[in-house]
Amino acid sequence: MVTLLLDSAQLRVVLSRTERALSFRRRDVTVERSAIAKVQLTDDAWTWLRGVPDPGTNFPVTVAAGSWKSAGGRDFVMLRGRKPSVVIDLEGHDEFQRLVLTTRHGVALVQALRLDSVGDELADVAELVAE
């Protein structure tokens, strides 16, 4: 599962080596906080997939990773099994229209995005909410 880091200006989706290989991506996904339009929690993120991997990996209901291209634009996807996930709609991001991520920290992300006292250094969203 991805690690979500947040500061006052951006959200960073930190990818492990395996996640980088599966998604055919060399760097983490970084999103300005101002580009985040909506965050939704879901128990079945597979229903949120749209389009086809381009480039990416897809083993249905097991792993989906990478960029997904559709008529609606491009999404970044990192799903593993049927685990709790988060769907983040973006506006004005130069690369993606949506992020669909398996994470056990979806509730913490929503809570951390509502905090006004997030610092200038990136911190794990679970740690921000625990403070």
Domain layout of the chain by residue ranges: 3-130
Residues 25-41: pLDDT tens digits? 999 999 999 999 999 99
72/10: higher pLDDT: 10
pLDDT at residue 131, rounded to an integer: 60
pLDDT at residue 10, rounded to an integer: 92
pTM score, two decimals?
0.91
First to last CA, the chain: 22
Maximum Cα–Cα distance across the chain: 41
